[in-house]
Chain A
Amino acid sequence: MRATRTRAGEPVSGRAPDDAVLRRYLLGNVAPEVRERIEARLFSDDKTFWEHLCLVEDELIEGYVAGELETDDARLFERSFLCTDERRSKLEFAQALRAYVTTQQPVRITLWHRLQGMVSVPAWAVAAAVAALVVLPVASGFFGRPADRAAVGETDVVASVSTGLVRGAIAELPRVQLSPDCKLLRLRVEPDQDHPRYAATLYEVGGEEIWSQGNLTPSEVDGRTAVTLTLPCEMLAAGDYYVTLRSAGPETSATTATTAASRANFRVLRP
Chain B
Amino acid sequence: MASAILLGSVRAAGGVEMTGILRRSLTEESWDALFDFLDPGRSTRTGPDRNAAAEARCLEITRKLVFFFAGRACGDAEDLTAETILRVAGKAREIARSPGMDPLAYFFGVARNVHLEWLRDARRETTRRESAVRDPGFFPIRDVRAWRNDEIVHRCLEQCMATLGRAARQLVISYYSDDKTAKIERHRQLAAEFGKSMNALRIEVHRIRKVLRECMSGCVQPELARVSQ
Contacts and interface: CB of A to CB of B under 8 A. Distances in A.
Which of A42, A43, A81, A96 lies at the interface centre, i.e. has the most chain B CB atoms within 10 A of its CB?
Answer: A43
Nearest to A100: B157
B22 interface: no
Q: Is the interface of B mostly helix, strand, loop or mixed?
A: helix
A62 B176 contact: yes
Which of A6, A109, A122, A215 lies at the interface centre, i.e. has the most chain B CB atoms within 10 A of its CB?
Answer: A122
A230 B158 contact: yes
Which of B11, B70, B147, B212 lies at the interface centre, i.e. has the most chain A CB atoms within 10 A of its CB?
Answer: B70
Nearest to A229: B158
Interface string A69-109: 00000000000110111110110110011111110101101
A68 B168 contact: no
A92 B170 CA distance: 21
A28 B71 contact: yes
B163 interface: yes
A62 B206 CA distance: 11
Contact of A235 (B14, B166, B210): B166
A105 B163 CA distance: 19
A20 interface: no
Contact of B167 (A85, A99, A123): A123
A8 interface: yes
A168 interface: no
Q: Is the interface of A mostly helix, strand, loop or mixed?
A: helix
Which of A25, A84, A99, A107 lies at the interface centre, i.e. has the most chain B CB atoms within 10 A of its CB?
Answer: A84
Interface stretch (A53-61, A157-165, A169-177): A53-61
16 contacts: A6-B104, A6-B108, A7-B105, A35-B71, A39-B71, A84-B13, A90-B213, A92-B147, A96-B154, A97-B172, A104-B173, A115-B170, A117-B194, A119-B171, A124-B211, A184-B162
A122 B208 CA distance: 9
Given A43-B107, A85-B10, A124-B208, 7 more contacts: A7-B104, A44-B104, A86-B9, A101-B177, A121-B165, A215-B154, A234-B166
Contacts of A96: 147, 153-154, 157, 216
A238 interface: no
B160 to A, nearest CB: 10
Interface residues on A, range: 35 or more
B206 A100 contact: no
A235 B162 CA distance: 11
B177 A124 contact: no
A54 B9 CA distance: 15
